């Protein structure tokens, strides 16, 4: 078993607490009136775009999904629609999930460079982290 350095602390702390989180993982983003949170979110070097094309102009979901393969024995988490500095995004994600910065096998990039795959079902943790950053 390889030895890894301890996880780093996140550089970007949570700036928003959603007022509502549904059982399916949907959380409300900051309102357009919450200028302080929106300014801090826009200063981040990375971003996530919520899903679109919802009826009645509804706010979409965070693009974080669970994937089960090999008869359910392999569980992964997929994060889509990543924008901005992808290396900083992965560093911050590793820090938020307490993954060592030396562990290069837990997170892998997928097609197009806007999607990553994490080992394990970490969907709730990733959604909570992204919601805390105001996405």
Residue range 106-115, pLDDT digits in tens? 999 987 888 9
Q: Predicted confidence band at 2 (pLDDT cuts at 50, 70, 90)?
A: low
What are the angstrom distances between the C-alpha of 25 and each of 8, 64, 123? Answer: 26, 9, 9
CA distance 85 to 77: 20
pTM of the model: 0.89
pLDDT digits (tens, 9 = 90+) for 66-112: 999 888 789 999 999 999 999 999 999 999 999 999 898 999 998 78
CA distance 52 to 35: 22
Q: Predicted confidence band at 9 (pLDDT cuts at 50, 70, 90)?
A: confident
């Amino acid at each position: 078993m390889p030895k890894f350095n301890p996880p780093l602390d996140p550089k970007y702390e949570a700036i928003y607490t959603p007022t509502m989180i549904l059982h399916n993982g949907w959380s409300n983003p900051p309102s357009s009136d919450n200028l302080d949170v929106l300014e801090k979110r826009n200063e981040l070097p990375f971003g996530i775009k919520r899903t679109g094309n919802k009826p009645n102009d509804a706010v979409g979901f965070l693009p974080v999904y669970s994937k089960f393969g090999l008869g359910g024995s392999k569980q992964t988490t997929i994060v889509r629609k990543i924008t901005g500095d992808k290396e900083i995004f992965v560093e911050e994600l590793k820090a938020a999930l307490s993954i060592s910065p030396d562990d290069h096998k837990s997170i892998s990039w997928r097609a197009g460079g806007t999607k990553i795959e994490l080992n394990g079902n970490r969907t709730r943790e990733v959604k909570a982290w992204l919601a805390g950053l105001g996405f």
